[in-house]
Amino acid sequence: MSKDTRNYREELRSILNSLADSLEHASDEAVMSELHESGEDPELRAKSVRTAFETAFKRFKQKKLKEAQLKYKSSVLKIRELEQIVPQTIADLRVSLAAFFNTQPHWKTQLLTAQCREFKDLTDTDIRSLVKQLKILGAWKDVSGNCTENV
């Protein structure tokens, strides 16, 4: 008895895939006439695809919106965290920073060298920026006794 070696599934799969491929070059007229001949309404088919696309687009936009909202929330939290280091007056902050540099001089060397300035020449903006940088680096500690949190 001869053994059946044909791969029926693969053969049928190849026919189905080739039938689909043939649509890549089929004319609009051929597609429409085929549908009409089978008694189908092309408009109904088109409508179902349109709806499917609209749903996919809506889902995509909602996903992006959710991602943007999460990103925004995370940014807001970060900003609030940084804002907490701003003291009531810049003079207090200047005192706090001077005290910090006295206890941890290596930070003074690193940060001020990078900015090529002496502490006394720092502007108010520089002071705020330095404290924010130290906060981001996780190094900031108010050693002056001034309250620099929740202001």
Partner 1 sequence: MKKNDSSRGGPEKRAATLDEVEAAYRALTTPQLARLDKYARGRVAALYLEGKGIAATDLLQEALTETLEGSIKNAGRKWYKDSVSFVGHLMGVMKSIASHPPKHLLPDHAEHILLESQVTEVTPDGEVRNPLLEYPSGSPDQERILDAKKMLEIVEQTFKDDAIVSLIIDGWRNGMSGPEIQEQLGITPKEFEAAVKRLRWTIKHKLKFQL
Q: Which of 2, 8, 133, 146 binds partner 1 (CB under 8 A)?
A: 8
Binding mask 90-129 for partner 1 (x = CB under 8 A): ----------------------------------------
DSSP string, the chain: -------HHHHHHHHHHHHHHHTTS--HHHHHHHHHHTT--HHHHHHHHHHHHHHHHHHHHHHHHHHHHHHHHHHHHHHHHHHTT--SSHHHHHHHHHHHHHH-HHHHHHHHHHHT--GGG--HHHHHHHHHHHHHTT-----SS---S--
| Under rule CB under 8 A, residue 76 binds partner 1 | no
Binding mask 22-41 for partner 1 (x = CB under 8 A): xxxxxxxxxxx-xx--x---
Residues in the interface with partner 1 (CB under 8 A) total 43
Based on CB atoms, which residue is closest to partner 1, 69 or 109?
A: 69
Binding-site ranges for partner 1 (CB under 8 A): 6, 8-9, 11-32, 34-35, 38, 42-43, 45-46, 48-50, 52-53, 55-57, 59-60, 64
